[in-house]
């Protein structure tokens, strides 16, 4: 069974976006994964297809209504055990470990928020897991959903040509990826490190690990805190 992604959004035309290209696009064409954008407004019952209202207690902006969103969620998840995610800057930071767990499942249901957010009652009532892709705010959940799907699809079985490509990258072992080089041997006076052309695979792996530790310590010390080298 292929991986199924259902997206609840006010802008279904934003999908598949960049995922229609490269390896993800080819995998989509081959049926290795499927994508179903669903328009939240289709579940509104008034003639204006209203999906939002003013925040309780006052304040700027609008909030997605719980009754409309709940109908949309119920429609796409009836008898469905796929994880229900809400893209939100206040969610738990997305990690490669979480991506791998989702990729190993049958699929995912992603809710894309807009305006000032989503009524807390529908988050609680429909067990939405809030997920963040970074400490910043976007105009809506759609770009974040595309980023999440990009991370998932690329590690689905058979999507990448070289199965090892997904295991020798940043965050797969808790470290940032080591520096990469390719021909020409000399570029503007800078040479490829000699160890990489030595043919000594044990020495190469040792160098790569040391460089990964060095980069991670310099740039993301939070990743190596309490981690034994």
Domains of the chain: 3-153 (3.40.1280.10), 168-224 (1.10.1270.20)
**pLDDT bucket at 174, cuts 50 / 70 / 90:** confident
User: d(Cα 9, Cα 121) in Å, to the nearest integer?
Assistant: 18
pTM of the model: 0.90
Question: pLDDT tens digits, residue range 66-97?
Answer: 999 999 999 999 999 999 999 999 999 999 99
Half-sphere exposure of 5 (CA within 13 A, CB side): 31
Give the residue among 154, 150, 158, 166 at the shortest CA–CA distance from 19: 150
Of the candidate ranges 45-49, 126-130, 148-152, the one whose mean pLDDT is the lowest: 45-49
Half-sphere exposure of 69 (CA within 13 A, CB side): 31
Name the token pair of 180: 């990469």
How high is the pLDDT of residue 161? 72
132 preceded by a cis bond (ω within 30 of 0): no
């Amino acid at each position: 069974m292929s991986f199924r992604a259902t997206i609840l959004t006010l802008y279904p035309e934003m999908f598949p976006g960049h995922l229609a290209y490269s390896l993800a696009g080819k995998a989509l064409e081959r049926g290795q994964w499927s994508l179903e954008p669903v328009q939240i407004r289709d579940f509104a019952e008034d003639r204006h297809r209203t999906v939002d209202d003013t925040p309780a207690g006052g304040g700027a902006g609008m909030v997605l209504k719980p009754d409309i969103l709940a109908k949309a969620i119920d429609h796409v998840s009836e008898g469905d055990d796929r994880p229900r995610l809400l893209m939100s800057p206040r969610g738990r930071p997305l990690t490669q470990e979480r991506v791998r767990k989702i990729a190993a499942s049958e699929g995912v249901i992603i809710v894309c928020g807009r305006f000032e957010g989503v009524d807390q009652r529908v988050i609680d009532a429909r067990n939405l897991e809030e997920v963040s892709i970074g400490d910043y705010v976007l105009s809506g959940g759609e770009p974040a959903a595309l980023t999440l799907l990009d991370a998932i699809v690329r590690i689905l079985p058979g999507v990448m040509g070289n199965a090892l490509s997904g295991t020798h990258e940043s965050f797969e072992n808790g470290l940032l990826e080591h520096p990469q080089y390719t021909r020409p041997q000399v570029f503007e006076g800078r040479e490829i490190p000699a160890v990489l052309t030595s043919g000594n695979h044990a020495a190469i792996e040792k160098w790569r690990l040391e460089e990964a530790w060095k980069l991670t310590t310099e740039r993301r010390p939070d990743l190596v805190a309490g981690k034994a080298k």
